[in-house]
Amino acid sequence: MAGLRQRGHDVLWIREAAPGSKDDAVLAQAQSEARVLITFDKDFGELVFRRGKAASRGIVLFRLRKPSPDFVARRVARILESTTEWEGHYAVVDEHSIRLRPLP
């Protein structure tokens, strides 16, 4: 997270701010603070698409096979800086692509 913050991103890491929070609470906090939710947990797609939970700014799901901290930090920063189309979308990011789907 430090790398993202050094690059000027306003980052709130749930493990620092509210460790142990349930997914519903994390999604609600992202909604109330108008944040894009960055995650490695595909359950957030279930919450939004099947259970109708709100996600105003967007969700970016990373599906990376090499989850070393350095690789993840570089990939996340590069992806976040590659577009501004996160708002209103559920994005799935892997090593080779970004797929955007409009949020309900």
The residues spanned by each domain of the chain are: 2-102
**pLDDT, position 80:** 83
**The pLDDT value given to residue 94:** 87
pLDDT at 26: 94
User: 71: which 2 tokens?
Assistant: 């690789």
pLDDT at 20 over 90: yes
Residue-wise pLDDT tens digits, 43-76: 999 999 999 988 868 999 999 876 677 777 778 8
Q: What is the pLDDT of residue 6?
A: 84
**CA-wise closest residue to 10 among 39, 33, 40, 42:** 33
Average pLDDT, the chain: 87
